[in-house]
Amino acid sequence: MSETVPSSAEIDALLAQLSVYGYRFTRPFSSRINYSESAPPANLVKAIVLDTETTGIDIKNDRIIELGMVVFEYCPITGQAYRVLETYNELEDPSIPIPPESTKIHGITDDMVRGKRINEADVQALISDVSLIIAHNAKFDRGFVEARFPFFVNKAWACSFSQVPWKEEGMGSAGLEFLAYRYGFHYEGHRASNDCHALLEVLQQTLPESDTKVMLRLLENARTKELKVWALNSPFDSKDALKARGYRWVADRKTWATSIPAVLLEPETEWLRSEVYGGRPFQLELESMDAMNRFSSRRGSSELVKYL
């Protein structure tokens, strides 16, 4: 006897019934081309979700072995995606052996990449008219991508890992595969374009606490101007207070520093005056950070400000 396969509607109805009793299910992920049935507004812009696979995590010594990009149109006011315009995925021979521990993560072997090279002109053409590059760990991906393709320095970047308040929204992890499970799907991760499509799917979901689209919250935070505050000549005995406040020791400059939204500069300087400099005159270096240089190794414009 042949087995009757239930329809999608029948499966959905069954899962809906079981969910009443507390069961949670994930569906196999299938990438989408269209994200809205509504007529798109006139002000759509393009963005790219980007992911890399590499030989390791050292930007100076490791290399890109796979680049994935998904180009899509979205509304900058609502964060709603409309159409996926193109999916790009290419392998590249790094000219060094791929460590076994890296292959265990992404499954890419030396044989798979041998003799292959990503075409720079194709990549540059693909990103030429996009307004934003999104990565789930932009500090990692931006460093590798700009080292290999310097024209990426002229693009604004956003990080869906650090610029969405996942913890505040009740998510136990900001890992992409965990977020996918929370939003009801699973996929084969750690291959570049698969991760890109999965991330775009997550970006179009709603945050559980604020009831805000993930993409919209990401855009809001990406547009926020930040200041990197360098606490110059801070007293040694203030190090514990600075660390508890979120400052990090930058060894090559021998200075404590942190990043804050520009609008919070005044309360931050008052805290520094009281808790670090003991009411004495002090000097800060204020470095401007925005989507053009955030997550890169390049410094923003800076100024020295004296506080009496």
The tens digit of pLDDT for each residue in 136-192 reads: 999 999 999 999 999 999 999 999 999 999 999 999 999 999 999 999 998 887 677
The alpha carbon of 236 is separated from its chain's Cα centroid by a whole number of angstroms, namely 35
Dihedrals phi, psi of 208, to nearest 5 degrees: -70, -30
Domain spanning 226-307 has what CATH number? Answer: 3.30.70
Q: Which CATH architecture is the domain 26-223 placed in?
A: 2-Layer Sandwich (3.30)
CA–CA gap between residue 85 and residue 89 (Å, rounded): 14
27-31, 136-140, 284-288: least confident range: 27-31
Q: In this predicted structure, what is the pLDDT of residue 234?
A: 97
What tokens appear for 245 in the block?
């406040």
* Domain segments of the chain as ranges: 26-223, 226-307
pTM of the model: 0.87
Determine how β-strand 81-91 pairs with β-strand 64-74.
antiparallel
34-43, 77-86, 183-192, 245-254: least confident range: 183-192
Q: In this predicted structure, what is the pLDDT of residue 105?
A: 87
Q: Which residues of 3-14 are buried (b: 16+ CB within 10 A; e: fewer)?
A: eeeeeeeeeeee
The alpha carbon of 242 is separated from its chain's Cα centroid by a whole number of angstroms, namely 27
